[in-house]
Amino acid sequence: MSLQIRALKNVVSSWAGLAVNIAVGFFLWPFILHHLGDEASGLWVLIFSVTGYYGIFDFGIRSSLIRYVSKFQATGEKEELARLVNTSVFTYSCVAMVLMVTTTVGAFYVDRLFHVPLGFRKQAQILFLLVGYSVALGFPLGISGGILEGLQSFYLINWTNIIATLLRAVLIIYVLWHGLGLLTVALITVSLPLVASGVRSLIAHRLLGIRYGWKYVSRESFRQVANYSSITFLAIVAFQLRFKTDAVIIGTFLSAAAITHFSIGARLVDYAGNVVSGLANIFTPMSSHFHATGDYAQLRKIFISGNRACALVMFPILAVLVVLGKSVIEAWVGPAYVSSYVVLLILLIPSVLWESQSTSTRILFGMSSHKTLAYVVLAEGVINLILSIALVRPLGIVGDAIGTGLPLLITALFFLPRHMCRQLDIPVQTFVVEAYLYPTLLCLPMTLVLVVMQRYYYAHRYPQLMLNLLAGLAAYGIALTWYVLTQEPLGIRLMARMSRFGRPKGSEQ
């Protein structure tokens, strides 16, 4: 399979998976919220946020798997590949056992550390056990995902995720409709990803064709993984500080109900960022491949075109949520939560500026040049934590949002573009113009249409919202089609071919 065909399959399946995830999350969350209530929903977000910190125990092993599976597969080093996978399985199994013990102990204290509502303390303990154990088991089972990413077989990950997500949604709706509560929903939520990981493990085993056994657990392989993943570990800690602290801080200083109001705005921002993940993730193994072969011309091409593609996706989402954000929240979860629009705005702009450079971070990881990025993002995470704690008491959830958004804005604007351009020897101005000029210009007609529609036909419900959204997307679609057919090489070739078909026979003579 050619690199272009594989990349196309990966992107299409990733976007299909993201479409399913966003659609399910967007329509399922209000159903869960209104059936469980603010306090139980806030507790749900809190427990998943706390156990989300278990992600630091990845220690960067998954990223090293992606890196070295791609490398060893390209060089045909089967023995090294076997040592890598077996050593990773052993390491992750040890991590899982430690986390299970930690979860068991932590369950006795969860109601003392946070403002758990009265009547939910026992549920909080059981929920913590369910989620903690599932995250722990997810480490050894999740190795298959890293292997498939290293093999650039994202489509296999995506289709198993799609099936698991749809099945989860159906089961959650069924149990809530029949009066079952928080713990049943949690059990469904945590068990289906484990089943999907088990299926992917079988697929990865067949694709690799390597042997398993204690003799392949290697100290040398562990040191190789540790050398790469030690820096990645810092980045993991940093990302946990950036994205997982909000619910914990709000739950500690405010209340579980306040978490619910914050999470509505934050969840929309997460959905927006997830849209480009499927597009950008393919660039880590791809850049690792080109870096191993010394093809820096291809790396520069990926850097410009990949970030332009991310911007072509993120900038229209920014326009939609800025102009239609209040309507989206009102139609989604009800007018009582429109105040979350402030949180949405504060988090949205820094997040879009960061996510529109998603290709940059993936290339750094693929090149094993992510050390500086890890240190900077770690410093950002620490500042985020300090600011959020300082501002949450006087300003509430808005203060926490400012504490998260401001450091991210500084990193996205002043560090990442300059650092990446130095790595690939490209002028910053050239990068900004080539990557972001057209995405910005193409969004202007769409923004104008959305503003006019919202002014004269304000959306309160889904039918009105869809009408306004379709009008804006039509304007963007026209502008994007013009850009592809006149500026992109593939579109130019397509236009040339169409023009030849339209000529009368003999006119070329």
Q: State which amino acid sits at residue 72.
A: F
Q: Find tokens 């509560």 and name the residue.
A: 181
State mean pLDDT over 447-471: 91
Q: Are 233 and 59 in contact (CB under 8 A)?
A: yes
Query: For position 349, what pLDDT does the model report?
Result: 92
Q: Are 378 and 234 in contact (CB under 8 A)?
A: yes
CA distance 414 to 381: 16
DSSP 28-45: HHHHHHHHH-HHHHHHHH
- Bigger pLDDT: 296 or 394? 394
Digit-coded pLDDT (tens) for 11-39:
677 667 767 877 787 777 777 777 777 77
Identify the CA nearest to 316 among candidates 327, 304, 324: 324
Query: For position 248, what pLDDT does the model report?
Result: 79
CA distance 289 to 280: 15
Digit-coded pLDDT (tens) for 354-366:
999 999 988 888 7
CA distance 303 to 432: 11
- Report the SS3 class of residue 282: coil
Query: For position 207, what pLDDT does the model report?
Result: 78
Q: Please say whether the dihedral angle defined by the alpha carbons of residues 62, 280, 158 and 324, taken in this order, is positive or negative.
A: positive
pLDDT above 80: residue 163: yes
Q: Which residues in 339-419 belong to E strands, given as ranges? A: none
- Report the SS3 class of residue 17: helix
What per-residue string of b and e applies to 454-477 under the rule 16 or more CB within 10 Å gives b? beeeebeeeebbeebbebbbebbe
Q: What pTM, to 2 d.p., does this model score?
A: 0.68
Count the neighbouring beta carbons within 10 Å of the beta carbon of residue 100: 16
pLDDT above 70: residue 500: no
State mean pLDDT over 388-408: 92
Query: For position 178, what pLDDT does the model report?
Result: 80
State mean pLDDT over 443-458: 92
- Bigger pLDDT: 277 or 470? 470
Query: For position 509, what pLDDT does the model report?
Result: 46
Q: DSSP state, 204?
A: H
DSSP 326-377: HHHHHHHH-GGGGGGHHHHHHHHHHHHHHHTTHHHHHHHHHTT--HHHHHHH
- Return the minimum-mean-pLDDT range out of 34-38, 159-163, 408-412: 34-38
Digit-coded pLDDT (tens) for 325-354:
999 999 888 888 898 999 999 999 999 999
What DSSP element (H or E) covers 289?
helix 283-292
The whole-chain average pLDDT of the chain stands at 81
CA distance 310 to 278: 10
